Amino acid sequence: MSSQPVVFTTRTSYTIPSQTYMLPNTWKRFQLSQLINKVLALLQPVPFDFLVRGELLRGSIADWCTERGVGEEETVEIEYIEATIPPQRAATLPHDDWVASISCAQADRFVTAAYDGNVRIFSSSQELLHTIPAHSAPVLSAAYISSSVIASSSHDRTARLTRLDENGTADTFASLVLHTAPVASISANTDGSRLLTASWDGLLGVWDTNEPDADEVPADTLEEKDRAKKRRRVEDAKPQPKRKAPLEVLKGHTGRVSQSAFAPGSSTEAYSCSFDSTVRAWDVRTGVCTRTIALSEKPFTALALPSNGTVIASSTDRTLSLLDVRSPNAVPASGFGHPSLPTSLAAHPSDGVRVVSGAADGVVRIWDVRSTKAAVSSFDLWRKDEKKVLGVSWGAGIIGVAGEGGVEIWRLRDSGVAA
Amino acid sequence: MASDSEDEDFVPGASDDDDEDEFPEIDTRSDSDDADTPDEDEDASDASSSSETLHVGPVGKTIISDITGRPKTVYPEIEPDYDSDSSTEDDPNRVGNVPMHWYDDMPHIGYNMEGQKVFKAAKGDELDKFLATVEDPTSWTSAFDKSLQSDKPLTPEELDIIKRLQAGENPDATYDPYEPTVEWFTGKGKEEVMPLSAAPEPKRRWVPSKWEKKKVLKIIRAIREGRIVPKNPKTAASQPKVYDLWGTPSSNQPPPLPAPKVKLPTNAESYNPPAEYLPSAEEKKEFEEADREDREREFLPQKYGALRLVPAYKDFIYERFSRQLDLYLAPRVQRKKLNIDPNSLIPQLPSPSSLKPFPCYRASKLSHGDRRVRAISVSPDGLWVISADEQGRVLLWETLVGRPVRTWQFKSKVGALEWCPRKDVCYFVVALEEQLHFLTPPHQPASIASLTHALLSPSVAPESKAASPSPIKWKAPEAGVLADDEKPLLTIELPQSSGLVKQIAWHRRGDYFATLSGTESHTSVWIHQTSKRHSQAPFKKVKGSVQRVAFHPLKPHFFVATQRYVRIYDLSAQELIKTLMPGIRWISSLDIHPSGDHLIVGGYDRRLCWFDLDLSSKPYKVLRYHARAIRSIQFHPVYPLFASSSDDGTVQVFHSRVFTDLMSDPLIVPLKVLRGHRTKDGLGVLEVKWNPAHPWLLSAGADGTVAVWSS
């Protein structure tokens, strides 16, 4: 048995004295994890995963060294991260139709946007609280912007705001009118004062959340006719939502914008990704594109913001790209290869390194941005049924997955104490 | 006998000696020494017979004579035994070896030497016989003598032989089975002596032969007398009639090739081949099922325990016969071997990975159930796809997600559907049997929707300018009724019995479109103008049945593909410009490069032809790579790509770069074979369409699925 000089580094709170360890090179993840736990003398054992040059250590150290051609005297730098324990299926929320997205951002509430035009709200006990017929066309995204207001975006080219009362009634009070194509995503900043919509027509709209007093935008003649006809037919006396105009229109994308989001904790900085293979950073106040990161032939389908200043975006070439939007010369890290089209992305709410991706093959994968080669963990929802995953969301300790087969909630036990 | 032959041999020799002049007649025509050889042979035999002593007869023994006291040779007494003449025996009956029953009725039994009868001895009756056996002690040692017809007492020697035979001994009394060994070659004084004699050389070895001298003298005398003529003059008649087979000068032609050699047998041909040569059960089965021509080798290796168990080779006659045929029919021509590295002949193509992006995986799949999807079309902005199946269902869906957002159901089969290429309006045309419907997708922005409505169902219908009533009717829904997404905005009724519309081809501007119906008449092709609601049949007569039509992307040209030819017409000048001859038996599809200078034609006979329209009417390249008929081909409008789909269930993607430089040829690189569609009822992928905004491909299969292939 020979040994390998090893230096341990970490970005977690579990730091051990920095020195070179001579470790038997037959050791695997389990022994290394035990070693860290012993050195730290933790009361509660914490499982760790080990990254060697951006790669998760799957076999023994000797295996890794022979594969990479690393000699026995070379010092290997091993970074350790808290291990991700494979998630468990917690609940299934039944839907009749495909579900385009799910949001778990609000505690104890799940908002789903379905292709039948309804936004549904479930409690954490899987109870259907509201069914909001906000749109007449498939809803593409929905999210809580405050504890009582829900925003949704749809194929019918509008985004709508719905207020929920305590007595269980839902009132769609505003229709955001700007886009000439389906609105792919709607998102709010942290305090819920600004909304950002991304549409297939290449525009981004910035909106406030106030209820307009009157229609700010004149109605389309044809829509008016449609509505008149519908009213005649359905005898629906409900007042129509007020038509609301955007505060700012962000122009710059030449292709369909697939997703946009505010930077965490900011209401001025926003990011968007598009099918024109660019990721853009915006100053929302002035409506100026502050930065454009163009990659070649990567139509982006979704983006997530794992930490401040980094954007991870999935593209149709079945990879994820990790972009540093702060430093202008940073080379985007690519990798994270999927066997199928990644359709959606979500970042861990707090830890800044983990993202979850849903793919068209019905498998959801959890990635650590430091390990570009292989997923940290993956779980199979609908691979056998060939059903697509269309939306993922990472709440506190849970991952919500929406797609062709409805909605599933998976519980992810966070191994360590939140840093 | 040996002495007899020697005597005879000596006779001519003796006569020769007597008469020297009696020379054997010499053949005057022969100048060789052949004539002398028989004489020499005789001489040799004379010499050998004289020098050797042949012991053919009895060998004599040398004993010391009692009288003279000198050794003398004594020959053994000649015994008149089996091979000797027994006529000297004193037999009283000289009748010879005749059956004695001839004399049964006679009183005598033959004749003696003097010719007198020998009478039968008086034969006693049975009582006498009995008495004789009792009284005469020698009677039991007597035997019946056939020649004398009487009993004859046996001699003591004969009795001794009988006694010995009875005892199982050798009947010869003198035979001694335990004779002492005679030491012939061992022991003192009996050592083998080498056969080489130590005798001195005989005189004849060095004295000139008297006989030879005589012979030579005789020949000399004959020559002097002119009896022997040395060297006859040669005449033409005496020339042997032969010709020099190899004497002709060699021609320029290379010598005929030797016949190809039969291959030497290998281990597999052995009667006891090593185990690895023996075929397994399935190999044996495959061999037996295959035709003789398809077999890899002629025989099946078989193992036998011994060579003698090998049966006769049953294919022997066949094999010899085919070998003869091979030799007879084989062209004996020397082929110049090309000394070219085969790799250098392969064109240097860039690797597919350097030609990215191109579709390489299936991003999404939409199922139409069990119904064949015949037609798909992608909206000009690339966001939406419409697909139609054979039962009249048209689905509208978003490209990547693949969920239908709108469904239209028609009563009959949908033959074709195509999106209008204009971007300021948004509608598509669905072609059924004898009907074309104009539909618009839902959720259009107000500007586009109003423009579309203004175009397709204006409040005031445009005046038809045609003087004669057209067989084609443009039907708009009644004015005043609100347009609904479910119902077509406009309908064109084609003439009766024009059949299912197979193809819709839009002009690039989006005002004109051509339809192609299934019937083989001149009215199968119609060109419709949407803005003026006017239709016309461009051809009065069409040769052959039209398979495909297309508009030139830039010029006012119109392409018509019949079964075998592609004709290019100028629509403004109304004349035929060119006829292309792809050499395909049945054209299935056609597409024009967005630059307008190149054309690809696919056929049901698996061929794909690339035409450079500036060059000849023959294809620039003919490719054959699909296993089954090509169904559909299309160029990407932006990227340098084209794709073809086939009944073998695959879609193949090619890189096709066209250079603006006139000197360089188009570059065609095969990139990817996309598999995923199942073939059903012999039909594979029926249609391929490119997404105009991205290098994504859509394919509609006979298995009822539409696949989106993404890069």
pLDDT tens, residue by residue, B694-707 = 899 999 988 889 99
Which of B365, B446, B453 is opposite residue A223, by nearest beta carbon? B446
Distances from the Cα of B595 to the Cα of B96, B549, B552, B591, B599, angstroms: 131, 18, 9, 12, 10
> Of A153-167, B15-29, B557-571, B678-692, where does mean pLDDT reach its minimum?
B15-29
Which of B356, B446, B696 is opposite residue A220, by nearest beta carbon? B446
Looking at CA atoms only, how far is residue B638 from chain A in angstroms?
13
> How large is the average pLDDT for residues B531-544?
82
Kindly give, in sequence order, each residue whose CB lies less than 8 Å from that of residue A279, ignoring residues fewer than 6 positions away.
A271, A272, A273, A292, A293, A295, A300, A303, A311, A313, A321, A323, A325
Please determine, for residue B278, whether its predicted confidence score (pLDDT) is greater than 70.
Answer: yes
Before B357, cis peptide (omega within 30)? yes
Phi, psi of B553, rounded to the nearest 5 degrees: -70, -25
Contact: A200, B482; criterion CB under 8 Å = no
> How large is the average pLDDT for residues B87-114?
80
Looking at CA atoms only, how far is residue B512 from chain A in angstroms?
27
Distance CA A329, CA A352 (A): 21
Distance CA A261, CA A277 (A): 17
Contact: B403, A317; criterion CB under 8 Å = no
Contact: B694, A115; criterion CB under 8 Å = no
> How large is the average pLDDT for residues B565-583?
89
Q: What is the pLDDT of residue B33?
A: 41
Q: How confident is the model at residue B53 (pLDDT cuts 50, 70, 90)?
A: very low
Contact: A341, B402; criterion CB under 8 Å = no
Pairing, β B685-690 against β B667-675: unpaired
Q: How confident is the model at residue B88 (pLDDT cuts 50, 70, 90)?
A: low
Please determine, for residue B287, whether its predicted confidence score (pLDDT) is greater than 80.
Answer: yes
Share of chain A above pLDDT 90, in %: 8
Which of B400, B402, B443 is opposite residue A137, by nearest beta carbon? B443
Nearest CA in chain A to B355: A297
Task: Name the B residues in 425-454 with CB < 8 Å from any A CB.
Answer: 442-443, 445-450, 453
Mutate to test the interface with A, among B355, B403, B486 (most CBs of A within 10 A): B403
Contact: A341, B361; criterion CB under 8 Å = yes
Higher pLDDT: A200 or B297? It is A200
Nearest CA in chain A to B485: A226
**What is the model's pTM?**
0.67
Residue that is written with structure tokens 């290379």 in the block: B254
Contact residues on chain A for B356, CB-CB shorter than 8 A: 297
Please determine, for residue B197, whether its predicted confidence score (pLDDT) is greater than 50.
Answer: yes
Contact residues on chain B for A360, CB-CB shorter than 8 A: 363-364
pLDDT tens digit sequence for B435-494: 888 888 888 888 888 888 888 877 766 665 555 667 778 877 654 444 455 678 888 888
> Of A292-301, B2-11, B118-127, B573-582, where does mean pLDDT reach its minimum?
B2-11
Name the DSSP class of B329.
H
Task: Name the B residues in 667-696 with CB < 8 Å from any A CB.
Answer: 693-696
CB atoms within 10 A of CB B318: 12
Which of A115, A221, A256 is opposite residue B450, by nearest beta carbon? A221
Q: What is the pLDDT of residue A244?
A: 85
Contact residues on chain A for B448, CB-CB shorter than 8 A: 180
Same domain, A309 and A230: yes
Pairing, β B650-657 against β B641-646: antiparallel
Q: How confident is the model at residue B652 (pLDDT cuts 50, 70, 90)?
A: very high
Q: How confident is the model at residue B654 (pLDDT cuts 50, 70, 90)?
A: very high
Mutate to test the interface with B, among A203, A232, A316 (most CBs of B within 10 A): A316
Share of chain B above pLDDT 90, in %: 20
Same domain, A341 and A241: yes
Q: What is the pLDDT of residue B221?
A: 95
Q: How many CB pairs under 8 A join A and B?
A: 72
| CATH classification at residue A64 | 3.10.20.90
The answer as to whether A417 is a domain residue is: no
Please determine, for residue B212, whether its predicted confidence score (pLDDT) is greater than 90.
Answer: yes
pLDDT tens digit sequence for B127-161: 888 888 888 877 778 888 877 777 888 888 889 99
- Cβ atoms of A196 and A213 closer than 8 Å: no
SS3 A142: strand
Contact residues on chain A for B361, CB-CB shorter than 8 A: 318, 340-341
- Beta bridge partners, B435, equal B493
Same domain, A59 and A158: no
- Of A19, A54, A82, which residue is a domain's last? A82
Handedness of CA A290, A293, A294, A298 (dihedral sign): negative
Contact residues on chain A for B403, CB-CB shorter than 8 A: 98, 115, 138, 404
**Ranked by mean pLDDT, which of A213-217, B12-16, B533-537 comes out on top?**
B533-537
> Of A318-322, A369-373, B193-197, B622-626, where does mean pLDDT reach its minimum?
B193-197
Contact residues on chain A for B367, CB-CB shorter than 8 A: none
Q: What is the pLDDT of residue A226?
A: 52
Q: Does the CB of B405 have a partner CB in chain A at under 8 Å?
A: yes
Task: Name the B residues in 477-536 with CB < 8 Å from any A CB.
Answer: 482
Q: What is the pLDDT of residue A55?
A: 76
* Amino acid present at B431: A
How many structural domains does chain A have?
A: 2
* Amino acid present at B105: D
- Beta bridge partners, B19, equal none
Looking at CA atoms only, how far is residue A19 from chain B in angstroms?
44
Residue A149's nearest CA partner among A136, A160, A157, A135 is A160
* Amino acid present at A381: L
Nearest CA in chain B to A228: B482
Nearest CA in chain B to A221: B446
Q: What is the pLDDT of residue A225?
A: 52
Same domain, A40 and A140: no
The answer as to whether A416 is a domain residue is: no
Same domain, A391 and A246: yes
Q: What is the pLDDT of residue B210?
A: 92
Distance CA B143, CA B128 (A): 16
Q: What is the pLDDT of residue B690?
A: 92
- Of A52, A82, A112, which residue is a domain's last? A82
Residue B86's nearest CA partner among B94, B76, B75 is B94
Average pLDDT of every residue of chain B: 81
Please give the ipTM for the structure prediction: 0.85
Contact residues on chain A for B353, CB-CB shorter than 8 A: none
Mutate to test the interface with A, among B694, B696, B708, B709 (most CBs of A within 10 A): B694
| CATH class of segment(s) B354-459+468-710 | mainly beta
Domain span at residue A360 reads 88-411
Contact: B364, A341; criterion CB under 8 Å = yes
Please determine, for residue B634, whether its predicted confidence score (pLDDT) is greater than 90.
Answer: yes
Q: What is the pLDDT of residue B153?
A: 83
Q: Per-residue b/e over B464-498, b at no fewer than 16 CB within 10 Å?
A: eeeeeeeebebebbeeeeebebeebbbbbebbeeb
Looking at CA atoms only, how far is residue B394 from chain A in angstroms?
18
> How large is the average pLDDT for residues A250-254?
90
Which of A138, A200, A316 is opposite residue B383, by nearest beta carbon? A200
Contact residues on chain B for A343, CB-CB shorter than 8 A: 400-401
> How large is the average pLDDT for residues B279-291?
91
Which of B401, B402, B450 is opposite residue A222, by nearest beta carbon? B450
- Of A82, A107, A129, which residue is a domain's last? A82
Which of A156, A222, A360 is opposite residue B364, by nearest beta carbon? A360
| CATH classification at residue A347 | 2.130.10.10
Looking at CA atoms only, how far is residue A68 from chain B in angstroms?
25
Distance CA B36, CA B455 (A): 129
Q: How confident is the model at residue A221 (pLDDT cuts 50, 70, 90)?
A: low
Contact: A341, B400; criterion CB under 8 Å = yes
**Ranked by mean pLDDT, which of A86-95, B152-161, B536-545, B629-638 comes out on top?**
B629-638
Contact: B361, A318; criterion CB under 8 Å = yes
Q: How confident is the model at residue A36 (pLDDT cuts 50, 70, 90)?
A: confident
Q: What is the pLDDT of residue B272?
A: 92
Looking at CA atoms only, how far is residue A111 from chain B in angstroms?
20
Q: Does the CB of B364 have a partner CB in chain A at under 8 Å?
A: yes
Same domain, A336 and A363: yes
> How large is the average pLDDT for residues B324-341?
78
* Amino acid present at B304: Y
Q: What's the per-residue H, E or C state across A395-412?
A: CCCEEEEEECCEEEEEEC
SS3 B523: helix
Task: Name the B residues in 152-211 with CB < 8 Å from any A CB.
Answer: none
Same domain, A104 and A74: no
Same domain, A143 and A47: no
Contact: B445, A180; criterion CB under 8 Å = yes
Residue A346's nearest CA partner among A68, A34, A103 is A103
Q: What is the pLDDT of residue B79?
A: 66
Please determine, for residue B52, whether its predicted confidence score (pLDDT) is greater than 50.
Answer: no
Contact: A225, B482; criterion CB under 8 Å = yes
Q: How confident is the model at residue A107 (pLDDT cuts 50, 70, 90)?
A: confident
Per-domain residue ranges of chain B: 1-51, 140-190, 354-459+468-710
Same domain, A73 and A111: no
Average pLDDT of every residue of chain A: 83
Q: What is the pLDDT of residue A385?
A: 79
